[in-house]
Structure 1
Amino acid sequence: MKLSFILWLAQILPQPAADPLCLATTVYLEARNQSELGQRAVAEVALRRRDSGQWGDSVCEVVTARKQFAPTIVNPGLRMKNLEAWQQAVQVAFQAQQDWRLPPGQRHEVVPGASHFAALDLANPAWAASPRVATIGDHTFFRVQRLNPPAAAPVPTVTVAALPATAQRMAP
């Protein structure tokens, strides 16, 4: 299957249904030749960036932000032929998203605080002088900037007095 088809499909799927597809595609393109731990670390960086809101509000927005992850760097005509690696990437993406739904202190973070990664034998970005979090396989993970999850939106409160009279009778 072609990368362009997957990216098109992600655009027409509703959110958040498209996010696992975008995350799996990124894991496949960035780390299909890495260990499961290395794949998980790549997924974690994308999820941490999504939480920060600095690169987008969805995983798809984050991984398709200009020149940030492989989906926007590699040729869209690339054929993703390795079915076994694709299945592994999908599994890692779903597991990472499931774990990421836990409160921050309960997550099984592989690269805590990492906001960037690079294969330093292929690239030497300016931010590579930032604090290193870990090296897993071919990737080195960095804490380029401290990313805090966005503050939780206040939960609206509804008082019984604000409800219409018919609703007040049904309120507990």
Structure 2
Amino acid sequence: MLLAAITLPSMAAQAEWRLPEMAAQASEIVADSLVEPLPFEKAGATFPGSALYFLADPPAAASTANVGVTNSEGVNPIAAWNGDPDAAIAIETAGPAARAFVSRGTGIDKARALDCLAKAVYYEAASESEGGQRAVAQVVLNRVAHPAYPKTVCGVVYQGSQRRTGCQFSFTCDGSMARKPSARYWAQSLSVARRALSGQVYAPVGLATHYHTTWVNPYWAPSLAHIGTIGAHRFYRWPGAASRPDAFTDFYSGGEPSPAPARAASTVEAAPDPVAIAQRYESAAASEARSGPADSVVSQAGPATRRSQSDRQTTPAPEQGPGSVRPEYANSGQWIARPQ
């Protein structure tokens, strides 16, 4: 009886564990399904960031992003990509780049120029990539250098702001400035404006003087030379002599007006037609070519230095505050007695 009691569990155990063949087959299935680890997945063969060196095909733009290649046909479009595929640009005929802006004038002039240019960048392109923001700043500075526009940054930005419609930059007359700027995007706009005023040139837009958003189609667009599209803006330059580098002859000398929109005009003033401005410039250039040096002393300066009366921007007079100087302070700043 004892022998039977001992051998019975042994026989039962053999019946319960009768799966040796199936266990072997299962292990083979698992082994076959295993994937060979990649080189950077093996222990001891990696370091932080080493996965980049095991890529079979590096990203196509990894070696060309943010690299400007200037040639006779224009600028490498990847130069303005900034790593953002949604902000990729299409440059067609950018032409030569503008000369670097040289900041002159007093400290007040520089502060006003920075404020006006930063507002143009913020209200026109706050949601754009850095390339789109720099393009807007470059257009403003291109206008400052052209005789057809005011010679100050604030004068260009707020040109026509006294009109209800037809201002050169829509944010100056459509109520956009009532919105409080976002601290983050305002700081970015200030950075872009500061670099542009320090001489940084944005070559992809060349000597562009006009742009508009991609969802509008102004009447003047077909008459100008389309340069390309950056983000949500299409950029243009004048055709003919008005867009040549030797046409941008004005040098900045300060004299910035108040960095704010002008007061609303009592009479409705027609907005300047960009096509008409280019035509006037072409007419002046043709007249200069026909006239000799003896015909006019002005001809020695070239057509680019002549401004029509409607486009001339004189240096603004200092702002006069209310009140007057008291008699006892009339001689302030003068010598009490001449030194011996």
Q: Whose helix fraction is larger, Structure 1's or Structure 2's?
A: 1
Within-5 A mapping of 1:38-49? 38-49=132-143
Greater Rg over alpha carbons, structure = 2
- 1:78 is aligned, of 159, 178, 181, to 178
4+ residue segments displaced more than 3 Å: none
Letter in 2 for 1:79: R
Deviation at 1:124, TM superposition (A): 1.6
What is aligned with 2:10?
none
Deviation at 1:54, TM superposition (A): 2.0
Deviation at 1:36, TM superposition (A): 0.3
**Are 1:33 and 2:127 counterparts?**
yes
Q: Which has the higher contact order (CA 8 A, sep 6+)?
A: 1
Task: Classify 1:69/1:111 alpha carbon distance in 2 versus 1 (closer, same or farther; 3 Å).
Answer: same
Within-5 A mapping of 1:154-169? none
Letter in 1 for 2:126: R
Decide whether the 8 Å contact of 2:128 with 2:231 is kept in 1: yes
> What whole-Å deviation, never above 9, does each CA across 1:42-99 have from its counterpart, x for those lacking one?
0000000001132211100000001111342331651233111100100000111112
What is aligned with 1:168?
none
- Give the structure-2-normalised TM-score: 0.37
User: Is there any run of 5+ residues in structure 2 with no aligned partner, and where?
Assistant: 1-106, 161-166, 252-300, 302-340
- 1:127 is aligned, of 199, 220, 241, to 220
Letter in 2 for 1:115: T
Matched residues, number: 135
- Give the structure-1-normalised TM-score: 0.70
Deviation at 1:132, TM superposition (A): 1.1
Letter in 1 for 2:197: Q
Letter in 2 for 1:86: W
Within-5 A mapping of 1:1-172? 14-66=108-160, 67-75=167-175, 78-100=178-200, 107-121=201-215, 123-129=216-222, 130-144=224-238, 145-146=242-243, 148-150=247-249
User: Is there any run of 5+ residues in structure 1 with no aligned partner, and where?
Assistant: 1-12, 101-106, 155-172
Task: Classify 1:88/1:57 alpha carbon distance in 2 versus 1 (closer, same or farther; 3 Å).
Answer: same
